[in-house]
Amino acid sequence: MTPAAEVGLIEVVFGKAGLQDAIWIDPQTDLHFLPCVVTSRFSNSSDLLASPQMEKLFQHLRGEYDRIILDLSPLAPVIDVRATGALADSYLLVIEWAKAKVDVVERVLGEAPIVRERLLGAVLNKVNVAAMSRYDSNSGSYYRNSYYKRYGYVD
């Protein structure tokens, strides 16, 4: 979203940049973004997410913003999400259609009780609507009827 960013979350947390210097504001939506600029391999991201400095930053952000959305890494291969317990009030699990295995999702949610307890729900993304119709007799036609074309859905 901000490919030209030179400073971001990491620099703000470590005090190398001010928050206002790192935030990017989208001129069309007025949404504020705090990018994470990683110029080299960053091996201790979970330590950063669980740090007192990060918690202090989020306390400040809560006073400035109505909603804070933190885009995190996948839950299964790394522990970053589990390190955000002090930061996140709730979680939304995004599951990729035909990629995520049910047993893996169940296992990682079992291993991350704080995520499971605060889970608002799940989003199934990259859904193949034609293939989905094989699982439910109404799904394919429901999303393909002419009523929805006015909302931007076209084949």
What is the distance in angstroms between the CA of the first residue and the CA of the last residue of the chain? Answer: 27
Q: Check: CB of residue 10 under 8 Å from CB of residue 51.
A: no
Give the Cα separation of 19 and 7 in Å (integer).
9
Band (37; pLDDT cuts 50, 70, 90): confident
Is the pLDDT assigned to residue 143 strictly greater than 80? Answer: no
Report the range of poorest mean pLDDT among 21-25, 64-68, 109-113, 124-128: 124-128
Tokens of 130: 């034609």
> Which residues make Cβ contacts (< 8 Å) with residue 51, sequence separation at least 6?
13
pLDDT digits (tens, 9 = 90+) for 56-102: 999 999 999 999 999 988 887 778 888 898 899 999 999 998 888 89
> Which residues make Cβ contacts (< 8 Å) with residue 13, sequence separation at least 6?
48, 51, 53, 54, 57
Give the Cα separation of 145 and 130 in Å (integer).
13
Rounded (10°) CA dihedral 56, 57, 62, 67: -140
**DSSP type of residue 92:** E
Tokens of 136: 């439910």
CA angle 105, 123, 98 (to 5 degrees): 60
pTM above 0.85, yes or no: no
Q: Check: CB of residue 11 under 8 Å from CB of residue 20.
A: no
Task: Report the SS3 class of residue 121.
Answer: strand
Tokens of 111: 């291993």
Q: Which of 72, 87, 69 is nearest to 31 (CA)?
A: 69
